[in-house]
Structure 1
Amino acid sequence: MEETTEKKLNLLKEMGKLDSDSFEFLVDVDDYFETNYYSNDNEMLLIHLSVAIGRVLDNELVDRMPDEMWKQISGKPEYKIAISVWNDLKFKAPVKFNEDETQYILLHVLNILRRNQND
């Protein structure tokens, strides 16, 4: 995990925005991408997940993703891989994410996959 990302997540933990289970989940997600996709720049996904966990715990909802945007995301060649990656990770999550939240998570996963494919 990049040092700046770790500092941000530790700050969220210190502020009570992340509990230990949530923090460990984020570390597991980061480790997964470092190990399987050689990606150590996962900050956008990790920050989104931390905020999403907070929303679920506070019974708040994320705005629905526009249909056109979702069509573009789900039409990418790496989309099926992104689904597979998320299916590997979501069972470790300390909360259950709804469909709207999952779409944004998949967007971040897809971005990591596409970025690392171009490196």
Structure 2
Amino acid sequence: MICLKETTEEKLKVLNRVGKLDQDSFDFVTDVDTYFESNFYSNDNEMLLIHLSVAINRMINSENVDRMPDELWQQIINKPEYKVAESTWNDLKSKAPVEFTESETQYILLHILNILRRNQND
């Protein structure tokens, strides 16, 4: 069952149609969305899902994302929710169709942290 918001689902389907997101990757991104809906009651995961889609494409094409500034990374790892974000990503990444670089992982963790913090404030 796909739980994606309609607009997010349409964006991902477009990426799938134009060959930027293969079926395994689409399934993974959909599973990530379902995971956040089930475990964190989050239904606004678009930034993470789109980032994952683009990151998968970068990994397949051996492209790099710009390195995250050290001061931003320090802020992220010092947030109280960081350990939950890291644990969450460790649960999910084994199902990913690619292996992500450290730089991609940092941005993914930033998006996960944002979801956790936003839902904590709801």
Shorter-chain TM-score tier? over 0.9
Q: Does 1:82 align with 2:85?
A: yes
Give the RMSD, CA atoms, in angstroms.
0.3
Match of 2:39 in 1: 36
Q: Does 1:6 align with 2:9?
A: yes
- Which of 56, 62, 65 aligns to 1:62? It is 65
CA deviation map 1:41-97 (0-9, x unaligned): 000000000000010000001110000000000100000000000000000000000
Q: TM-score, normalised by structure 2?
A: 0.97
Match of 2:50 in 1: 47
Unaligned runs of 5+ in 1: none
Distance (whole Å) between structure 1 residues aligned to residue 120 and residue 114 of structure 2 = 10
Amino acid at match of 2:42: S
Q: Does 1:25 align with 2:28?
A: yes
Unaligned runs of 5+ in 2: none
Identity of aligned residues (%): 72
Match of 1:113 in 2: 116
Distance (whole Å) between structure 2 residues aligned to residue 51 and residue 17 of structure 1 = 8
> What secondary structure does 1:92 align onto?
coil
Amino acid at match of 1:41: D
- Which of 91, 96, 99 aligns to 1:93? It is 96
Distance (whole Å) between structure 2 residues aligned to residue 103 and residue 117 of structure 1 = 21
Q: TM-score, normalised by structure 1?
A: 0.99
Distance (whole Å) between structure 2 residues aligned to residue 92 and residue 27 of structure 1 = 11
Structure with the bigger percentage of helix: 1
